[in-house]
Amino acid sequence: MINRLPQLKETPSQTAGPYVHIGLTPNFVDIGGVYAQDPGTLLLADDTPGTRIVVGGRVLDGSGAPVTDAVVELWQADASGQHPQRSEAAEAGFTGWGRQPTDSAGVFRFETIKPGAVAGPNGMDQAPHVSLWIVARGINIGLSTRLYFADEADANATDFVLGKVLDPRRRATLIAGRSEADGMANYLLDIHLQGENETVFLDI
């Protein structure tokens, strides 16, 4: 006769711990021999079509101090609005995915291309954006948000997701400002994990 096993309890969730950089970006912390290059370092090839841009910013805690042990992942469409993970029509050599650690100032930085518009659930195109996922010590479940571009004001005004954020002050936490550096547009967004200027995070 087979003995009945007691029902197992669900394992409690754990924070990412103090070893996020060691586990996800070992070369960044001078641990060699794991990967030749940390996964997600490069999103595109030299001949990938599209406008080269930099997407970056800072991860800050509730007091405004930099979070120095965070890892930020980026997911985006290519210049024509195709997702490499979802469409064979996406540009070859473009991964649409990147991973970067924050440095001692809480800064992260991706060299990529400006994404095209993708279809939204309401049948209209979404504004160009990138999706961001943030994990760090003290975070039980990775935080998901978006970065939109300040120079896409018309598209942002009709975006399905931005339209769900009714308070314009909260909506502004998703809009990255633009500057020029080294011949490329730089789109920078501070991600506030808590506090008065807390970034809008998405339940997905």
pLDDT tens digits for 82-108? 887 766 655 667 889 999 999 999 999
Report all structural domains of the chain as residue ranges with CATH numbers, in order of start. 17-192 (2.60.130.10)
Average pLDDT over all residues of the chain: 90
Pick the most confident of 8-12, 78-82, 104-108.
104-108
Query: Rounded to 10 degrees, what is the CA torsion of 122, 132, 192, 134?
Result: 130
Cβ contact 125:119 at 8 Å: yes
Chain-centroid distance of CA 38 in Å reads 16
Residue 128: pLDDT band with limits 50, 70, 90 = very high
Q: Which two tokens stand for residue 106?
A: 């809480």
